[in-house]
Amino acid sequence: MATIVPPKLLLLDEHTAALDPKAAAKIMKLTQEIVRKHHITCLMVTHQMQQALEVGDRTIMMNDGHIAIDIKGEQRTNMSVYDLMERFHANTGSDLADDHILFAK
């Protein structure tokens, strides 16, 4: 990433999706360091639910263009992927269709 002025917002759309697990972990660690060091707000789109719970301080899940889940703080810290899936189902009546996406690391 190169910018002329420090950004206030970083948009990431599946930025580790095409990488092998080792490279993805390295890129994710670097991303987190940059965000913390420069106090940047980051919006990350991912289909990896474990990553969605581990990175950042808030997880929002969308369904049909609407916010289905918005969790943060202690509630998010103590949540597992299974809990997230259950809450999604309770809020939408839908199941997340692709388990390999949900449990990818």
Q: Is the pLDDT at 101 greater than 50, yes or no?
A: no
Q: Which range has the worst mean pLDDT, 3-12, 39-48, 95-104? A: 95-104
Percent of the chain exceeding pLDDT 70 equals: 90
With cut-offs at 50, 70 and 90, classify the pLDDT of residue 51.
Answer: confident
Q: Is the pLDDT at 104 greater than 70, yes or no?
A: no
Q: Is the pLDDT at 31 greater than 80, yes or no?
A: yes
Please tell me the pTM assigned to this model. 0.75
CB 99 within 8 A of CB 88: no
DSSP string, 14-55: STTTTS-HHHHHHHHHHHHHHHHHHT-EEEEE-S-HHHHHHS
Could you tell me the residue ranges of all domains in the chain? 45-93
Residues 2-18 have pLDDT tens digits of 778 888 999 999 999 99
Residue-wise burial string across 4-19, b where 16 or more C-beta atoms lie within 10 A, e elsewhere:
eeeeeebebeebbeee
